[in-house]
Amino acid sequence: MHPQPQDDPAVRQPARAAAAAFVGTTIEWYDFYIYATASALIFGKLFFPGSEPFFSTLASFGTFAVGFFARPFGGLVFGHLGDRIGRKKALVATLAIMGVGTVGIGFLPTYASAGVLAPVLLVVLRVAQGIAIGGEWGGAVLMASEHAPQGRRTFFASFAQLGSPAGLILSLIAFRAVASMDKVAFMDWGWRLPFLASAVLLIVGLLIRMGVSESPEFTTLKAQRRVAALPAGEVVRDAWRTLLLCLGANVIGVAGAWFVNTFMLNYTTQTLGLDRALILDCLFVVAFIQLGTQLMSGYFAQRIGTGRFLKSAAALAMLSPYPMFALVSSGRPAAIVIGIALAVMCMSSSYAVMAGFMANAFAVRVRYSAISLSYQLCAALAGGLTPLIGTILAHRYPGQWWPLAVFYSVLAAISLICITTLERKKPAAAQATAEAF
């Protein structure tokens, strides 16, 4: 048998699909993370001014949570479209919506100039972001995994997950650059620049995404006229237990990311009184550690078994917040990096391979809707509320980090229980349509 030439579509498309998933999710997550960073640092002052910083921060994190609550709706709408008309068309639409919403935030007036209209417009654009990211994730995962060579789905699906740390790195670079500006200039117009830069990324992302062919599995399904009429309804009717278990399995990967990258930013600057630039620099270093961890996780999970790998990652995540808080509380840069990195390595190991694990649990005809709903419902509940709960715990127990550490351990325990149950369940859909757990 002769090897396929490198310009053969069968060779090029899997790599192109993985690259497009990575670039597309990087841009989407860049947009999402710059909002998260701004909500932790400045949106409270710009859009919700008041005499008490705690309430301004809470209001700011409230708009952050609104985006998460919109994500299940995005997952439902674009999951339906992805299962009905194709993964590629749905992904192009989500990227465009996210870009327009993010650039729009960069042009918003603040409360000082527009009054209550300013936070109202902020919430509207935040909802648009939430809808876009809600539809994006499932399609990016499936375009990578459904183009993947046989036996390598977990690894290829992990490329979509790499967009999270890569987007975080870009967002931190953007905010670190403007955070060094004069304070008056930063608060007046400097904070807008990271949002406006999304216009350039949007064009790049659309060009790359348009060059990828439709998922071969969906193409086959459509040719056989086996496309689901109402995919979400079919999932809820036939696989609701698996849907809920996948939701729980995602908790530590979703909530852990926002705990570490958003709540900790606010906690270290407001509760511990550490310098904003210092924490941004520390998170920047940790983001590279997360990127490397996720690259290795996809490879090792494929070799030793996804279920076994995920259970180990969740168990370690339960232990990780205690050394993290102890080291971060010292205020030393090296200790902060090591402490946060310990938690991030455990959390991101789970996040990296969860996509492939979930995709294997559902049939092709409903897969986009199923994994989008489970992931985005988890994001709405665990991701959106985590910074809020963390802020309330820090306010309720001043000077004590153990309640925050216990909260993080509980999140990891939920994932461990659900992953273990899912692995034992081995859904029939997974056995019929994909590689084994």
Considering only CA atoms, which of 306, 310, 311 is closest in space to residue 430? 306
Q: Which residue segment(s) compose the domain that 383 sits in? A: 12-433
Q: In angstroms, how far is CA 32 from the centroid of its own chain?
A: 8
Burial (CB < 10 A; 0-12, 13-18, 19+), residue 1, is exposed
Does some domain include residue 340? yes
Q: What is the mean pLDDT of residues 244-253?
A: 93
Q: Which two tokens stand for residue 432?
A: 């019929």
The single-letter code of the amino acid at 417 is I
pLDDT higher at 411 or 2: 411
Question: What CATH number is associated with residue 164?
Answer: 1.20.1250.20
Shortest CA distance to 364 belongs to which of 129, 29, 86?
86
pLDDT digits (tens, 9 = 90+) for 266-280: 888 888 888 878 888
What was the pLDDT predicted at 255?
92
Asked if residue 263 belongs to a domain, the reply is yes
* pLDDT at 323 > cutoff 60: yes
Domain assignment of residue 409, yes or no? yes
pTM, rounded to two decimals? 0.80
What is the per-residue pLDDT for 38? 86
Please indicate, yes or no, if residue 206 is contained in any of the structural domains: yes
Q: Note the residue count of the chain.
A: 437
Residue whose entry in the numeric block shows the structure tokens 């496309």? 227
pLDDT digit string, tens, across residues 159-172? 888 888 888 889 88
pLDDT at 158: 82
Report CA Rg, the chain.
21
2, part of any domain: no
Overall number of domains in the chain: 1
Per the domain annotation, does 7 fall within a domain?
A: no
Question: Buried b vs exposed e over 227-261: b needs ≥16 C-beta within 10 Å?
Answer: bbeebbebbeebbeebbebbbbbbbbbbbbbbbbb
Of 268, 242, 261, 275, residue with least CA distance to 370: 242
Which pLDDT does position 435 carry in this prediction? 39
- Following DSSP, what letter does each residue of 249-305 receive, concatenated? HTHHHHHHHHIIIIIHHHIIIIIS---HHHHHHHHHHHHHHHHHHHHHHHHHHHHH-
pLDDT tens-place string over residues 375-384: 889 988 887 7
DSSP-derived secondary structure for 196-248: HTHHHHHHHHHHHHHTSPPPHHHHHHHHTT---SSHHHHHHHH-HHHHHHHHH
C-alpha 263, offset from chain centre: 15
Residue 6: inside a domain: no
- Comparing 212 with 119, the larger pLDDT belongs to 119
- Residue 349 in any domain: the answer is yes
**Cβ-proximal residues to 143 (8 Å cutoff; 6+ apart), any chain:** 17, 20, 21, 87, 88, 91, 160, 212, 215
Please state the rounded mean pLDDT for residues 114-139.
89
